[in-house]
Amino acid sequence: MFMLSSTNTTNVFLEDLKIFFETNNIRATQSVSFLGNSGLSHKFDFLISGFKDIPTRLIKTLSVSRNDSVFAKSILTDITQTRLIRDDLTKYYVFINDCSKENTRVNVNPDIITLFNIQSK
């Protein structure tokens, strides 16, 4: 029963992403934190290093078990606070796990998609 709890489902998703990066020879560092403009620490699930004119990519993940705009807003806070202290060559991504505990697709809350689309402009 505990195998597919919310935490374990998120961990499986992170492990899948890690395997994807390794399989595709993408150098990604897992679990990195940055001090934001407010002085608080903001954690990102993955960092893909940039070089010269290639941007650094910071990646956050959102699980459908948290298909609520509150968690999406906390992700945007992390991005906003970190963006204020990082250079312009940093790009931010949110990977959304749209598989449920039963491994079926779940529709992502449209408010979350809208929130991320507005912020990316």
Q: Tokens at residue 53, please?
A: 């004119």
| Of 58 and 103, the one with more pLDDT | 58
- What was the pLDDT predicted at 44? 97
The upper half-sphere exposure of residue 115, i.e. CA atoms within 13 Å in the direction of its Cβ, equals 19
Architecture in CATH for domain 6-119? 3-Layer(aba) Sandwich (3.40)
Q: Distance between CA 26 and CA 76 in Å, rounded?
A: 25
pTM to 2 decimal places: 0.83
pLDDT over threshold 60, residue 85 = yes
Delimit the domains of the chain by residue range: 6-119
Which pair of tokens denotes residue 66?
Answer: 């948290």
**Comparing C-alpha atoms, which of 87, 21, 15, 16 is closest to residue 51?**
87
Confidence band (pLDDT; 50, 70, 90) for 108?
A: confident
Q: How confident is the model at residue 66 (pLDDT cuts 50, 70, 90)?
A: low
Query: pLDDT (tens digit, 9 = 90+) per residue, 40-57?
Result: 999 999 999 999 999 999
